[in-house]
Amino acid sequence: MKTRCLELEMSNEEYQRKYEQLDEDRADIIAYLKKMLQQKEDEITELKERLEGLQKTLEQDKQMYEEKIANLQYEFKVMHEQLTSEIKLLTGKLNSLEEFRLQRDDLMKKFKEQENKIEEQEEKHKQTIYDIERKFIIGKDKLKNEMEAKLLQLSLDFQDATHLRIAATTRRTIRENIAINNELVRMVEDSKRLTEENEKMKARDRTLKLEVNIREDERDIALEKSMVQHKLIKRLSAEYEVMAKHIGELQYAARRYKDLQQELKDNAAFLDRAVKQIRMLEECLQAANYENSELNSKLLNAEKDTYLLQRVLREAVRSIKEALQVQTKPSEESFALSRRENLLFNLLQLLNTADYPQFEERELR
């Protein structure tokens, strides 16, 4: 009996050590499980916050890009219509400008030819007037010299033959006088004719001067018109440069629109990846929740096993104490033996009820 008590005491001490070790292990397991549970809860909270922030950011970016695309499409449409109408108008102006340029070149060519002709006519007219005046002066001087020479010769002849041949000289003088008169009449007619030709040349000169003035007025009008056309060409060139600038801006807007479309596609792809990542995070969250449930279930089972082990140990301690009390009391040996056997049997049943192998197997798992 003492041996059995010693065995029970040793077994009790061993169970006490196991209980203490189990209690320490249980505390470590509970602390570890609580730590893991807190980490999982923190991860779940962080993932939820990241998911909400990502969804909100994606929604804002999507709305912002949709608004940008709508605005760009509207601006592109308006600018395209405006530039199309301006291009048509500018094309018409350029066509009319090209026709005007051809007409101007033709007019300037004709004007240049007319100026050359007028200059040639002026030169010819000046040369003709100069020749006529020179011939008139030479003829006048020649006629004067001839008249003076004939008068001198007549005077000399008259003086030489005055005394000898007065009658013949008189007749000859009369004939010569008649001839001289005829010559003078002819010279007067020539002078009159030259004067008339001079007047005609002067009239022609006035006509040519008037024509030159008219041509100069036409030239001034043509130059003024050319200046107006030059200003028009300059203004159209400026408008063309502005139009070219608008076309460049439109081309830049078109390239920007394509870039935004590509960016939208990239954002859509990023959104798809984010949605997939969110799904993966949701799956991870579900797995974490499942793992959390498993850990809670294990923790609950461990607490149940601990409670059962504590109850068994308390019953065992109580039975051992009763057995010791029975051993110390002086009483009948048979009654005491029967009492100890009952207590040991109850203790054995309690220990069998604890089902330590099953508990140890669950602990190892």
The answer to whether residues 284 and 47 touch, using CB atoms and an 8 Å cutoff, is yes
Q: What percent of the chain has pLDDT over 90?
A: 0
Strand ranges in 134-227 using DSSP code E only, listed in sequence order? none
Q: Which two tokens stand for residue 334?
A: 């048979």
Measure the CA dihedral 314/315/318/319, to 10°.
Answer: -150
Q: How far apart are CA 235 and CA 85, in angstroms?
A: 18
Looking at residue 131, its pLDDT comes to 78
- List of domains in the chain: 3-316 (1.10.287)
Instruction: Tell me the one-letter amino acid at 288.
Output: A
Q: What is the pLDDT of residues 142-183, one digit of tens each?
A: 777 776 777 677 666 656 655 555 555 556 666 766 777 677
CB proximity list for 222: less than 8 A, separation 6 or greater: 107, 108, 111
Looking at residue 340, its pLDDT comes to 63
Looking at residue 343, its pLDDT comes to 65
Residue 350 CB burial class (10 angstroms; 0-12, 13-18, ≥19):
middle
Number of Cβ atoms within 10 Å of the Cβ of 163: 8
pTM over 0.85: no
Q: What is the pLDDT of residues 16-42, one digit of tens each?
A: 676 677 667 767 777 777 787 777 778
Q: How far apart are the first and last CA of the chain?
A: 38
pLDDT at residue 89 above 70? yes
DSSP secondary structure letter of residue 329: S
Q: How far apart are CA 19 and CA 16, in angstroms?
A: 5
Q: How far apart are CA 87 and CA 247, in angstroms?
A: 9
Q: How far apart are CA 309 and CA 354, in angstroms?
A: 6
pLDDT band at 358 (very low <50, low <70, confident <90, very high): very low
